[in-house]
Amino acid sequence: MTSQISIHLAGAAGMVTGSCTLCEAPEGRIAVDLGLIQGTPEQEADNPHLPIDRPDWLDAVVITHAHADHCGRLPMLARTGFDAPILATPATIDLLPHVLHASARLQQRLADEAQRFGMSPRPILFERDDVDRVCELLEPLPFGKTVSVGKGMTVALHPVGHILGAASVLISNGAMRVLCSGDIGHAQGQPLPPPAPPPSADLVVMECTRGDTEDEILLPPEEQLARVLHDATIDEQVVVCPTFALGRSHQLLYRLATLSRQGRLGMPVMLDSMMASIVAPLHRQHADVISGECRTLVADDIDPLHFPELKKLHNRKQASVIKDLRGPALVMAGNGFGEGGPIVEHLIRWLPSRRGRILLAGYCMPGTVTGKLADDPPTIKLKGRRISVEAPIDRLDCFSGHADATQLEKWITGMRGDRPKVVLHHGDPAPRATFASRLADLGYEVCTPDRLEHIS
């Protein structure tokens, strides 16, 4: 006999990272995402503790996409006796080993550095062997196909933009349909298509990362980007752009390739991200999930994410050329919030100089380095020292990987049938409250639960 599906937000309740949603019914127990918490040291202190009790009881884990805040604790399952399937789209399955192995290497390096310099010990959540073991459980689930899980649950994935392979997850037990949105992509998110209208559901667990933000996009993204590069060309500046290895970097590469084909780029582009370089060709291999415009280029044997001015830097030695770079030029490096990775050294080098220019392309999380730079401060603290901010700062919201408030509303109102109950997660308190009010005004029943609060 079927019954309601119970929902618990095991992560990302009132915050943006650490996504994990537990769906339980007599027919089965499914976790959607198992993400890493990325925030303050106090928040990240919870990372060594899995947010799910008895993961060996799970009938499946479904991963919406390969960003660390949605998949970053997945290898921790390898030490729990977990042996159920881990479902994701084929593109996400291609990405996950790269992302998780890179995370394992980073954890080890940071732990070694902490020990060498007498700092507080850094926890190692998992090692590379754990990644290999958990990747053996990955099972591809193409968009639109439905599979059975447990004793009567079904799972299907639907495209949602954001990054290559990203999906929303529809779970049903015959009596109730629950849709977990994952991260909803931006309408201007080339080389991916805009998010598709969601399938009908009785309850939607919906992200609201930018639920209080409205993008004013008066020009196509490549034209906005061209204006920044034009100004940098006139002033002979090095443009430094913090990017994420999955998503934002590829949006930028796509638009830069467009400008290059039009003969309007006119400067070298340094991509200081091995992960972004590795992932870019996968868009051609998964041409069935990229935009129609992008597929046309692939059909004409044009790489939509490559151009003659692009130089991919795969290690620190290759990247050392950037310190002597003269403008005009563009440097793209991770991470996108400026909190670590190669971008920090580039910011230290170019922020104090009018020969530098900072491009903030997309969402800047409040409290992070890019969030602070968005306010154009006189100084900023990087690696323990105070750096003056002399370089001009440009901000382009059109390169966000996340839908703004209007696009979020369009996504949920595009669902056919009766209005579902909406549970908001993956949003800081202010965006969550703002978007909850917006949906309530439209007649939706909206819930903003605390972590592990029971919902059905």
pLDDT reported for residue 2 = 56
Do 296 and 419 lie in a common domain? no
Q: Which one is predicted more confidently, 368 or 319?
A: 368
Quote the number of domains for the chain: 2
1 — pLDDT class (breaks 50, 70, 90): very low
pLDDT for residue 298: 95
If asked whether residues 141 and 153 sit together in one domain, one would say yes
Of 374, 399, 424, which residue constitutes the final position of a domain? Answer: 399
Residue 323 sits in a domain whose CATH number is 3.40.50.10890
**Which of the four pLDDT bands, split at 50, 70 and 90, describes residue 74?**
very high
Q: Among 381, 399, 417, which residue terminates a domain? A: 399
Please tell me whether residues 261 and 179 are part of one structural domain: no
Could you tell me if 195 and 168 lie in one domain?
A: yes
Mean predicted confidence (pLDDT) in 293-303: 95
Q: Say if residue 60's pLDDT is above 70.
A: yes
Stronger pLDDT, 150 or 119, i.e. the higher one: 150
Answer yes or no: do 395 and 406 share one domain.
no
Rounded to an integer, the average pLDDT of 64-83 is: 95
Query: What range does the domain containing 338 cover?
Result: 221-399
**Whether 178 and 241 share a structural domain:** no
Query: Does the pLDDT of residue 181 top 80, yes or no?
Result: yes
Q: Is the pLDDT of residue 320 over 80?
A: no
The CATH number given to whatever domain includes residue 99 is: 3.60.15.10
Residue with tokens 């009908």: 200
Q: Is residue 1 part of a domain?
A: no
Are 386 and 405 within one domain? no
pLDDT in tens, 206-217: 999 999 999 988
Determine, yes or no, domain membership for 152: yes
234 with 154, same domain: the answer is: no
